[in-house]
Amino acid sequence: ADGELVQYHYGLKDLVTILFYIFIAIILHAVVQEYALDKINRRLHLSKVKHSKFNESGQLVAFHLTSMVWCLYVVVTEGYISNPRSLWENYPHVYLPFQVKFFYLCQLAYWLHALPELYFQKVRKEEIPRQLRCITLYLVHIAGAYLLNLTRLGLILLLLQYLAEFFFHMARLVYFTDENNEKLFNVWAVVFVVTRLFTLTLYILVIGFGLPRVENQALDPERGNFFSFLFNNILFRMSVLLLVCLFQASVMWRFIHFQLRRWREYWNEQSSRKRAAAGAKQQAKPLKRDSGYHENGVVKAENGTSPRTKKLKSP
């Protein structure tokens, strides 16, 4: 009927939908590679290592930008930003609007398509463990939020994560085109810190204050209620918050260590450039010489004769 709101639940048929969009993601991946990244690579003449990293960052910039705009549209139209209480109210959020369900299925399809792309893109063996770890983390978190009915919280967290990742890979692309341009890395550093603070605040708000106040606190897997009864226990709730804080602290420590190393390399490079410029300036400085040259303490003229004072004859 007109005005009737249709909502959806997850099920086994989602696997067929995900498989279909895996093929769509592979096709889009090939289109971006063929018509954008390969043309830029031919102009830049990058090495094999930089060529692989450039392709990786180029694909992720396109994906993160699309997902970020799409996710922002979903959370704004669904009212999750204007009403933060909706992140935990009426939990479990078993039934989903179409755009929320479709977004999650497309996200799962993209990160699953990244597995065969490791073979298609001929990724170096040294890079495979890092990329597998990244793909696995995204799949675990997205599938966990989807299956455990935490889709609203997952949308906000994905938006924050994709925002930081977009600036990081964009900074890498700019760096590959001009190695002296690292300004965008500074922008990424600020965005990364801000998004980590928002992520930690969101965890504390939802886990510490939101889920414990849910009306239905009983374990009911059939209705999708997996967490409310656990978060009603203050000891369990504080343990989860402690683990979250420790994880975010470890991420920030690695980030600070990376920034300190990068700044140290930058200042070492600047000091070496200054020393090289000072040495070149000293070499280019002209030496002052007399009109003649010295030999055994006596100044000789250019023709080898000793300069003598002329005697004036009397008139």
- pLDDT tens for each residue of 144-189: 999 888 899 999 999 999 999 999 999 999 988 887 777 888 899 9
- pLDDT tens for each residue of 215-266: 665 666 666 666 665 666 677 778 888 888 898 888 889 888 888 887 888 7
- Look at the alpha carbons of 297, 300, 304, 310 in this order and tell me if their dihedral is positive or negative: negative
Q: Do 39 and 129 meet the contact criterion of CB atoms below 8 Å apart?
A: no
Residue 313: φ, ψ to 5°: -80, 140
The Cα 75–Cα 67 span in angstroms is 12
**E strands in the chain:** 293-295, 298-300
List the beta bridge partners of residue 300.
293
Mean of the pLDDT values across residues 193-218? 82
pTM, entire model: 0.80
- Domain positions in the chain are 7-273
- Look at the alpha carbons of 204, 155, 139, 232 in this order and tell me if their dihedral is positive or negative: positive
Q: Is-cis flag, bond preceding 286, omega within 30?
A: no
